[in-house]
Amino acid sequence: MTATAAIGPMIEPAVATARTVIFTKSLRDSRRSLLGWTAGITVAALVYAGFYPQMAANGAAQAENLPESLRNALNMDDIGSAAGYLGSTVFGMIVPLLAMFFGAAVGARVSAADEESGTLDLLMAHPITRTALIAQRFAALVAAATGVGVLLWLAMLAIRGSAELTTISAGRFAAQCVHLILLIVCFGALATAIGAVSGRRGTVFATTAVVGVAAWAAHTFADEIGIGWAAYLSPFHYYIDSEPLRNGIDPAGLGGLAVLAAASAALVAAGTYWFNHRDLG
């Protein structure tokens, strides 16, 4: 009894330290990949946002040449305005699709990468539970997603004047970036759950990418093919349909953010449960 009482205070700090190390080491070990993804998403957004002055001049005429069904699907009816242009191209298609792949890539590393490489047993030999491993790795994913959102917000503010985007306030850009962060987290949660079940990084990335592209297509084209209800199954609906570039975070936007957050929590919880009850070999 005395020995247990003496050992207990020594074990608890070790467990707390291990948990902290998992979070910080995940970010440190992935720093090159995270920086590459962050730079890629930001640069893509800046390049396409920089085309707005040309689109403002003749974009509406070009959009008129598109079939009405495609114009409606891509939300290009108001492409001559800053919010309309960014909402339909930069934040409506390019950035969210890149963000989805980013979430898939980072989520694949939560548990599947270690299991596939055979280093998971060594990691679990430390004083940390499977639940804590998933929680700390997913917390690192959330931190990485937040970094993408913050840098993208700063980048948009940096070109706001030169790209003639001053009709969109800093607060509305911030709202759009918050929505983007939750979208990344949602797809990262999906990848985390798939990785906890499959233990294969390739399976995680491929499945998440296929689901993501299908979800984007459902959100974009559901109305045009007569299955409008399918859009409500897509994370992209809750990410963009409240138009944060026009409205900021309004009550409708908060509802969308709540759906993305709840879906993320449910996916991580389901993945953690399966991971805890699965034979890891």
Q: Name residues whose C-beta falls within 8 Å of residue 19's C-beta, 6 or more positions apart in sequence.
A: 128, 132, 136
Q: How many CB atoms lie within 10 A of CB 43?
A: 11
Does the predicted model carry a pTM greater than 0.85?
yes
Expressed in angstroms, the distance from the first to the final Cα of the chain is: 35
Element (H, E) at 84: helix 82-85
Instruction: Kindly report, residue by residue over 226-265, the tens digit of the pLDDT.
Output: 788 888 999 999 999 889 999 988 776 688 999 999 999 9
Query: Which pLDDT value is given to residue 119?
Result: 80
35: its two tokens: 């920086």
Distance from C-alpha of 270 to C-alpha of 224, rounded to nearest angstrom: 34
Query: Which pLDDT value is given to residue 60?
Result: 57
Phi, psi values for residue 275, rounded to 5°: -60, -40
Q: Is 32 exposed, middle or buried (0-12, 13-18, 19+ CB in 10 A)?
A: exposed
Identity of the residue numbered 57: A
Nearest to 109 by CA among 212, 18, 205, 38: 205
Query: Which pLDDT value is given to residue 75?
Result: 60
Low-confidence ranges of the chain (pLDDT < 50): 1-17, 67
> Are the beta carbons of 266 and 192 closer than 8 angstroms?
no
Phi, psi values for residue 252, rounded to 5°: -65, -40
